[in-house]
A and B are shown apart, each in its own frame.
Chain A
Amino acid sequence: MAILVVAEHDQHKLRPATLCVVTAAMRIGGEITLLVAGKDCSAVAQAAARVPGVKRVLHADAPHYEHGLAEDLAPLIVRAAASMTHVLAPATTFGKNVLPRVAALLDVAQISDVMRVESADTFVRPIYAGNALATVQSSDAIKVLTVRATGFDAAPDAGGNAAVEALEAAPPSGLSTFERQELTKSERPELTAAKIIVSGGRGVGSAENFKIIDALADRLGAAVGASRAAVDAGFVPNDYQVGQTGKIVAPDLYIAIGISGAIQHLAGMKDSKVIVAINKDPEAPIFEVADYGLVADLFQAVPELTAALDKPA
């Protein structure tokens, strides 16, 4: 087995999801090569070389790799994949954008959002918003997979000593150019990697009211999430959305506040270790998956909860 892992990074650091993909690669078993493509990103290549279990790092550096454009990255990955049996990337917006393009260029199927490795050719993935788990077997020569980060522990980021090799860049595709980005700035932990998440839904009522969610999150050192209803109503930015089409999270503690618990939201959080629901409707479906439920008005219960946390055990 020869496994290529496409690293996701921000030109300075590996994204945590990449380390989860390395663990998935180790479950498959075989020689692991990490591909780091970007602009002035040798620090990332060096960091990748320190991940235990990684045998080799391929480092491609060119200005047109800076923003992870699929049109430029896909041909590079295809070239690196020629001698591989598997190509893996995290099932983030980065991996979901680039990898299907790679699979089609290789004329192979792609397996999305793999949450379990059964063997080198057999994988488990969720379908129908996580309401069924499909075990699929690939007959393709090269298996192309995106990996659900919450399904695998992160590999350590130190202790390894892989060789770094330069990979020649391909010329720019000229098909697409990056214009600008508007990233949400936050001091809080990243949603997909947070140990605790406090999420608000339609019941919170307004962007202003989200402050009580923020206050609870800050008290817990938690990330803030949201349901689609809260995003569509403009209470919070879209990248807060947890669910089938937003982010998939599995923290130790997920606190759902004013969220009814539609199928599409549950798909994004039902693998959390402990789920707490605060909702004034005792019939809300969220209570069917919650370990602890509090039927109460959130405007009273959430500040009380924040206050109760300050009292010693």
Chain B
Amino acid sequence: MKIIVAVKRVVDYNVKVRVKSDGTGVETANVKMSMNPFDEIALEEALRMKEAGIATEILAVSCGTAACQETLRTALAFGADRAILAESNTELQPLAVAKLLAAIVKKEAPGMVILGKQAIDDDCNQTGQMLAALLGWPQGAFASKLAHEGGKLAVTREVDGGLETLRLSMPAVVTADLRLNEPRYVTLPNIMKAKKKPLDVLKPDALGVDVAPRLATLKVDEPPTRKAGIKVPDAKTLVDKLRNEAKVIS
């Protein structure tokens, strides 16, 4: 079985982002970028399935500008076999990404697609579910455990009250939650090897996908800042302040 893993290039999770003063977005020039953390987990899971003999080939796919090639090289260094970039300079929203991925899925016919549950920049948490809908495949969103049994996929999902397990027919779409696994580290020899692995670049037109954004971002603002608080010397003073000043406890 071939597995497609979708990876996104995002502002690194440790960066404290700054809103541009003209309100058009967030400053991304000269900011450290890296692979979306949830996508690293998705990729790790695919690699483990290959190591377990369940998967035969891992194809990493990214959608975005030419700079995403760097993210795909990282995926190849992790252990993906080859990569495809759907290259576009348009702002790609989840529906457009899902359509690009669906077009690639139709060409490549994988047994499974694994994505991260959300990107830490737009925080949408939509693409995997949309892809499943477009393909007419079942979805296992927010997965914390996967088991491949008798041609079906048992997916344990993180839901609000705890965990639930579903059984999906294959092919299927899965989105990875934080606790699915612990991604490995990339080694220098693997980074060198990744440079020789195939990376194809496709244009949305060639895939027959209209990527025009459906949502217009009118402005991006700073969230309201909280007033600086005070330090209290001991627990007794804290209780007094909460009772008599903040009046949040009785």
Are A181 and B249 within 8 A (Cβ)? no
Q: Chain B residue with minimal CB distance to A305?
A: B235
Q: Chain B residue with minimal CB distance to A293?
A: B231
| B164 vs chain A, min Cβ distance (A) | 4
Known: A129-B123, A308-B239. A293 touches B117 (CB 8 A): no
Are B178 and A103 within 8 A (Cβ)? no
Contacts of B141 in A (CB 8 A): 70, 96-97
Asked whether any CB of chain B lies closer than 8 Å to the CB of A108, the reply is yes
| B156 vs chain A, min Cβ distance (A) | 9
Complex alpha-carbon distance, A231 and B144, angstroms: 13
Asked whether any CB of chain A lies closer than 8 Å to the CB of B112, the reply is no
Partner of A178, one of B131, B162, B164: B164
Are B223 and A239 within 8 A (Cβ)? no
Known: A100-B129, A136-B215, A305-B238. A274 touches B144 (CB 8 A): no
Are B26 and A93 within 8 A (Cβ)? no
Partner of B133, one of A104, A276, A309: A104
Are B139 and A137 within 8 A (Cβ)? no
Known: A135-B219, A136-B218, A179-B154. A104 touches B129 (CB 8 A): yes
* Interface-central residue, A113, A184, A244, A308, by most chain B CB under 10 Å: A308
Q: Give chain B interface residues in 170-184, CB to chain A under 8 Å.
A: 177-179
Asked whether any CB of chain B lies closer than 8 Å to the CB of A80, the reply is no
Are B249 and A275 within 8 A (Cβ)? no
Are A136 and B242 within 8 A (Cβ)? no
With an 8 Å Cβ cutoff, the count of chain A residues facing the other chain is 92
Which of these binds chain A: B11-19, B65-73, B77-85, B196-204?
A: B11-19
Q: Give chain A interface residues in 184-224, CB to chain B under 8 Å.
A: 184, 192, 196, 220
Asked whether any CB of chain A lies closer than 8 Å to the CB of B243, the reply is yes
> Please, what's the 1-or-0 string for B5-25, where 1 marks a CB less than 8 Å from any CB in chain A?
000000101101101000000
Complex alpha-carbon distance, A135 and B219, angstroms: 5
Asked whether any CB of chain A lies closer than 8 Å to the CB of B220, the reply is yes
Contacts of B51 in A (CB 8 A): none
Q: Give chain A interface residues in 282-301, CB to chain B under 8 Å.
A: 287-296, 301
Q: Chain B residue with minimal CB distance to A231?
A: B179
| B194 vs chain A, min Cβ distance (A) | 28
Complex alpha-carbon distance, A210 and B21, angstroms: 43
Contacts of A252 in B (CB 8 A): 248
Known: A104-B133, A220-B249, A253-B242. A127 touches B121 (CB 8 A): yes
Contacts of A129 in B (CB 8 A): 120, 123
Contacts of A304 in B (CB 8 A): 234-236
Contacts of A127 in B (CB 8 A): 26, 121-123, 220
Asked whether any CB of chain A lies closer than 8 Å to the CB of B217, the reply is yes
Q: Chain B residue with minimal CB distance to A96?
A: B125
Asked whether any CB of chain A lies closer than 8 Å to the CB of B63, the reply is no
A-B pairs with beta carbons under 8 Å apart, 14 shown: A71-B139, A93-B142, A94-B160, A97-B139, A128-B17, A129-B120, A132-B26, A132-B222, A133-B221, A134-B220, A181-B162, A181-B164, A276-B242, A291-B230
Closest 9 CB pairs of A and B: A100-B129, A104-B133, A104-B130, A175-B138, A109-B214, A304-B235, A100-B126, A291-B229, A181-B164
Interface residues of A (CB under 8 A from B): 67, 69-71, 74, 92-94, 96-105, 107-113, 122, 126-140, 173-184, 192, 196, 220, 228, 231-232, 237-239, 244-245, 247, 252-253, 263-264, 270, 273-276, 287-296, 301, 304-305, 307-309, 311, 313
